[in-house]
Amino acid sequence: MKKSTKIMIISLVSVIFVLLLVLGITKAFMKPIEQGGNITEVSLNSCAKIKLTSTSNVNLSSSYPMSRNKGLQTTPYKFTVTSYCDSYVGFNLYVATLSTNTIDAKYVRYILTQTGTKNVIQEGILSSATNGVSDFTDTEITELNTGLKGTYGSIYKIHSENIPLKGSKSFDIYLFLDGDVADNSTMGKTFKAGVAVKSYEREKDILLADYVKSLYTGTQGENGIYYHDANLTNGAGDNSYRYAGASDAVNNYVCFGSTQSPCPADNLYRIIGVFGDRVKLIKSDYATTALLGTDGDYSKMYTANNWDNSSYKGNNLANIAAYNWNKSNQNTWSLSNLNKTNLNTNFITNIGADWAAKIAETTWKVGGNTYAKIRDAVPSVAYQNEIVNPVTTNSQDNKTEYSAKIGLMYASDYGFAAAPSSWTTNLYSYDGTAIKSVNWMYMGLYEWTISRDADDSSNAFNVNNTGYVDSNNVGNDAYGVRPVFNLSSSVNYASGSGTAADPILVS
């Protein structure tokens, strides 16, 4: 693989940070250039490049200890790693300190974020990061020292990430004296460091949909996956790959909306299945107002319902919000502000543009059907009536489809998430322990589905807190909500086994 090197120097009054960007190995001599506090870069031609994306002054005059929030208000170093290579590469990100520093790395905090945002990818006290010295060859050490204009003291590895083929990744990095551990004794002292990026060869990207399908061995139920072809008894018959079974036996967790490690609980989603070339996710736990907002069809906090919440399976009850399906009391999805405002405006905004771009526009089946044809039906029959043959009876727009990124679960999704032994039971009887104990999608609170009850114009189907599917009033009842969406077919599997502790990461 060809290599590329860039060097950036920042000179400050009392604290000096040298930003050295290295991708791979190079034998070329690198001369850093200083220009009064501005960053100037020296680039070598290569198939892989690193480019500084902002040449404005870096405001690091704050050589005094500061809080984390204050540190995030300083001007970060901005850079983009781009691969022009014909092979797949990833990179490790290092911070290398000079041996002559008079400020100990135990006082320095680093925060790596998605460029232009405060979405933290990785952060910590520099001295606590992984020792990365062994990753460097003697040649690279020489080049690193040349860039640092001295001898390195320590090399800390702070992050690793893949780059898409012929793609790029952009980052901001903040470096400052942490007010929680540093004091005024650091005043007047100096600190020099380089930020080095080294590439490495990696395996070819695998599409997330292909990865999930590969977990199906040909034996129904292995790895918690069932292939719903025409031969699967009581299945959907739609050639989908769906997860089914007890929650602790189904490893279908995905971290979405965050790159933090470990994945924040509020960013855990679960794979419903693969439908065509798209992977369908549902939020693992119920949504909060931080995600869906307090406008639209927000009603109150869920606990204000004063219901029995003893069946709840999560750990966030106090923060769960309750929403009406449609405060106007019409069960037409195109008129619902839960749909238009909370899910397809607030969620999209709060998840962030980069993550929202990974979500596919979906044609949702929203006609629903009658009480008898969904609630009182087994999953395979409910699927036919809900997805294949929905109706427009009592709807306001006479439509059975709605195009948007975000929706809710189908009643039949919930039915098929239970083990196959349940698929001969109608959804209204899904409250039995033998069924809800083997249904990973059951979370123990009232929640809405996307499907309307076509028996009238004001009811929609929901999952009861004891596990069965019912139908209730869209304007009067306020239930939990778990956003559901399909990922774009181009989303790749990055890593992870699918457990809650080791969720699948996507790229």
Q: What is the pLDDT of residues 74-129, one digit of tens each?
A: 878 887 777 777 778 788 888 888 898 888 889 889 999 988 888 889 999 999 99
Instruction: Give, as one character, the DSSP assignment of residue 453.
Output: B
- Return d(Cα 226, Cα 419) in angstroms, integer: 10
Does any domain span residue 468?
Answer: yes
Question: Residue holding tokens 């966030």?
Answer: 316
Does any domain span residue 267?
Answer: yes
Question: Residue holding tokens 């020792």?
Answer: 131
End of a domain among 159, 185, 201?
201
Indicate if 318 and 410 belong to the same structural domain: yes
| pLDDT 10s digits, 191-229 | 777 777 777 777 888 999 999 999 999 999 999 999 999
367 touches 391 (CB < 8 A): yes
- Return d(Cα 383, Cα 374) in angstroms, integer: 8
Does any domain span residue 268?
Answer: yes
| pLDDT 10s digits, 357-368 | 999 999 999 999
Contacts of 69 (CB under 8 A, 6+ apart): none
116 backbone dihedrals φ, ψ, rounded to 5°: 75, 5
Surface-to-core class of residue 233, CB atoms within 10 Å of its CB (0-12 exposed, 13-18 middle, 19+ buried):
exposed
Please state which of the ranges 123-137, 239-253, 481-495 shows the lowest mean pLDDT: 123-137
Mean local confidence (pLDDT), 379-385: 99
End of a domain among 201, 229, 253?
201
Indicate if 195 and 215 belong to the same structural domain: no
Strand-strand pairing, 484-486 and 4-10? unpaired
Q: Which two tokens stand for residue 66?
A: 């500061």
355 touches 441 (CB < 8 A): no
Contacts of 212 (CB under 8 A, 6+ apart): 225, 241, 271, 273, 274, 279
Indicate if 276 and 138 belong to the same structural domain: no
124 touches 93 (CB < 8 A): no
Does any domain span residue 38?
Answer: yes
Indicate if 171 and 226 belong to the same structural domain: no
343 touches 292 (CB < 8 A): yes
- Confidence band, pLDDT 50/70/90 cuts, at residue 318: very high
- Return d(Cα 338, Cα 479) in angstroms, integer: 11
Is the confidence at residue 507, as pLDDT, over 70? Answer: yes
For residue 2, count other CB atoms closer than 10 A to its CB: 17
- Return d(Cα 304, Cα 301) in angstroms, integer: 6
Indicate if 182 and 215 belong to the same structural domain: no
Indicate if 84 and 61 belong to the same structural domain: yes
- Is-cis flag, bond preceding 420, omega within 30? no
Q: Which domain holds residue 108?
A: 4-201
Q: Which two tokens stand for residue 84?
A: 């022009």
81 touches 197 (CB < 8 A): yes
Mean local confidence (pLDDT), 21-31: 28
How many Å separate Cα 256 from the centre of its chain?
A: 2
Indicate if 153 and 57 belong to the same structural domain: yes
Query: Which residue in 99, 113, 140, 155 sits closest to 5, CA to CA?
Result: 140
Indicate if 182 and 240 belong to the same structural domain: no
What pLDDT, on a 0 to 100 scale, did the predictor assign at position 205?
A: 85
Does any domain span residue 503?
Answer: no
Query: Which residue type is seen at 167?
Result: G
Share of the chain above pLDDT 70, in %: 87
Q: How many folded domains does the chain comprise?
A: 2
Does any domain span residue 502?
Answer: no
Q: Which two tokens stand for residue 478?
A: 């306020």
What pLDDT, on a 0 to 100 scale, did the predictor assign at position 267?
A: 98
End of a domain among 177, 201, 225?
201
Strand-strand pairing, 108-114 and 401-404? unpaired
Mean local confidence (pLDDT), 323-328: 98
Sheet holding 120-125, edge to edge: 48-52, 77-83, 168-177, 108-114, 120-125
79 touches 53 (CB < 8 A): yes
Indicate the Cα dihedral angle 139, 142, 148, 149, nearest 10°.
Answer: -150
| pLDDT 10s digits, 228-242 | 999 999 999 999 999
Indicate if 46 and 126 belong to the same structural domain: yes
